[in-house]
Amino acid sequence: MKGRYATAVLLLAVLVADPARGAQAPTRAVTESQVHEVAAELRCVVCQNLSVADSPSEMARQMRAIVRERLEAGESPARVIQYFVDRYGEWILLSPRRSGFTLLVWLAPLAAVAIGFAIVSTLVWRWTRRPASASTPPRVDPAMRERIRRETETEP
Amino acid sequence: MSRRAWRWLIPASALPVLALLAYGFRVNPREIPSPLVGRPAPSFTLTAFDGAPVTLEAQRGRVVVVNFWASWCYPACYDEAPVLERSWRAYRDRGVVVIGVDIQDTTEAAKNFVRDFGLTFPNARDPSGKVSVDYGTYGVPETFFIDRRGRIRAKHVGALTDGVVRVHVDALLAEPAG
């Protein structure tokens, strides 16, 4: 009974086991640019604003090696990226996903530009529509006009 | 739109931005919650500095403290090394294992570190970095507390203190075995 249980567990472990982990020999050739493409999507965890592709750090070098190994084992680029997301969260992605909450990051700038454009065009429309009377010179009453005339004439 | 409405609209439009900033400045960008907490601990097999194999699987049924460190990680790793050794000695008879995983290091420097601090719990180098990536580590030191069933239950970033170890380990020991 115990033996059967152990066999079942072992069988399950084999079925569930990560294909990349067990793979020793590469099953397909992967170019440097394919590795770069995936690594450029990932944030270097020990750097400030650098991708795994661009960082010279030891950690990034090891992560590139992991990317290469998983690609060689036959994983799709999307699955390799998911492997990192599962461990680090979506924080690891240099460009946030275009879905859920992070969709806001993509839409907010567009919304801001649209709102700004609406405000500017409304203001411009208002300013250009202002009545012409506003530009006519201010009225001067006859007494003031007389005083100005007198003062300018007495100037030498 | 009336003039009155406009007067309110401009400050009101700044509110969401201010709220976002208020939130953003309050959270610590270094404390990113690990998606691994609550999930099965990734298995690993490494070779300890003394040549013995170190596997997580072999520790099933015990509370495991996995600590990621490096000899160049000063002062945090230097501060916590005596804490780990103390904890290991205090808890080893109660079914607790401490495993040190040395990352991004040279064997020479790491061996000196283990010798200088007189560490007696299993310590192994992770030469390819696979274990550290499997655990989603950002740097050193980071420590994972794994329950008897092999699930990651807590992650601590930064140097450990006796208090931190006690809180997590005691909580996991208090859980019924199996």
β-strands B53-55, B45-47 pairing: antiparallel
How far is A43 from A54, CA to CA, in rounded Å?
Answer: 10
Could you tell me the CA-to-CA distances from B52 to A8, B117, B133 in Å, in that order?
29, 19, 23
Is residue B170 a part of any domain in this protein? yes
Is residue B104 a part of any domain in this protein? yes
Cα dihedral across residues B115, B121, B124, B129: positive or negative: negative
The beta strands (E) that lie in A26-85 are given as none
Cα dihedral across residues A114, A119, A123, A129: positive or negative: positive
Two tokens at A10? 């072992």
> A87 near B135, Cβ under 8 Å?
yes
Residue A138 confidence (pLDDT): 72
> A46 near A59, Cβ under 8 Å?
yes
- The CATH number of the domain holding residue B155 is 3.40.30.10
Residue B102 confidence (pLDDT): 97
- What's the domain range around B67? 45-174
Number of domain units in chain B: 1
> Which pLDDT tens digits describe chain B residue by residue (178 residues)?
567 777 888 788 889 889 989 988 888 765 667 899 999 999 999 999 999 999 999 999 999 999 999 999 999 999 999 999 999 999 999 999 999 999 999 999 999 999 999 999 999 999 999 999 999 998 899 999 999 999 999 999 999 999 999 999 999 999 987 6
Residue A135 confidence (pLDDT): 59
β-strands B152-157, B142-146 pairing: antiparallel
**B134, B136, B139 member nearest A46 (Cβ):** B139
Residue A93 backbone zone (phi > 0: left; psi -120 to 50: alpha; other: beta): beta
Residue B42 one-letter amino acid = P
A4 at interface of B, judged by CB pairs closer than 8 A: no
Is residue B166 a part of any domain in this protein? yes
Is residue B7 a part of any domain in this protein? no
Is residue B81 a part of any domain in this protein? yes
Which residue of chain A comes nearest to B128, CA vs CA?
A: A62
Q: Residue B138 and residue A45: Cβ atoms within 8 Å? A: yes
Partners of residue B32 in chain A, C-beta under 8 Å: 88-89, 91
Residue A64 confidence (pLDDT): 96
Partners of residue B23 in chain A, C-beta under 8 Å: none
Residue B140 backbone zone (phi > 0: left; psi -120 to 50: alpha; other: beta): beta
- ipTM > 0.90, yes or no: no
Is residue B82 a part of any domain in this protein? yes
Q: Residue A58 and residue B136: Cβ atoms within 8 Å? A: no
Cα dihedral across residues B116, B122, B128, B132: positive or negative: negative
> Which pLDDT tens digits describe chain A residue by residue (156 residues)?
445 555 554 444 444 444 444 445 667 889 999 999 999 999 998 888 899 999 999 999 999 999 999 999 999 999 999 999 999 999 899 998 888 888 988 999 999 999 999 999 999 999 988 665 555 667 788 888 888 888 888 766
Q: Residue B32 and residue A62: Cβ atoms within 8 Å? A: no
Residue A96 confidence (pLDDT): 87
Is residue B169 a part of any domain in this protein? yes
> B80 near B142, Cβ under 8 Å?
no
Is residue B85 a part of any domain in this protein? yes
